[in-house]
Amino acid sequence: MVVKSHGPHRRTREKFRRRGLTPINRYIKKFNIGDRVVIEINSSSREGLPFKRFQGLSGNVVGKIGRAYAVEIKDGNKTKKVITESEHLKAI
């Protein structure tokens, strides 16, 4: 008997699927502190993947943690910090 997965990354490959190869520029782009970005999940890269609830939200880059960026977003009345890599971010 096969048991359905209930993990945090379930159905993300189908939900955020994009056709074709991902350009190399998405992996090597750099952001400065204070830049406005949109979280745009790239399902072909599992490294530094933010949670699926944050897809499409915009915020400010507040820091860099290794290769990843810390992005501050508004989720309802709360301010949250999402840590994600550059291939999941798009400049506004």
Q: What distance in Å separates the CA atoms of residue 51 and residue 42, rounded to the nearest whole number? A: 12
For residue 13, what pLDDT band results from cuts at 50, 70 and 90?
low
pLDDT > 90 in the chain, percent: 55
Q: Structurally, what CATH architecture does the domain formed by 12-91 represent? A: Roll (2.30)
CA 1 to chain centroid, in Å, comes to 34
Give 45-61 pLDDT, tens digit per residue: 878 889 889 999 999 99
- Cα–Cα separations (whole angstroms), residue 57 to 6, 68, 91: 24, 17, 12
Give 67-91 pLDDT, tens digit per residue: 999 999 999 999 999 999 999 999 9
Domain range summary for the chain, segments of one domain joined by +:
12-91
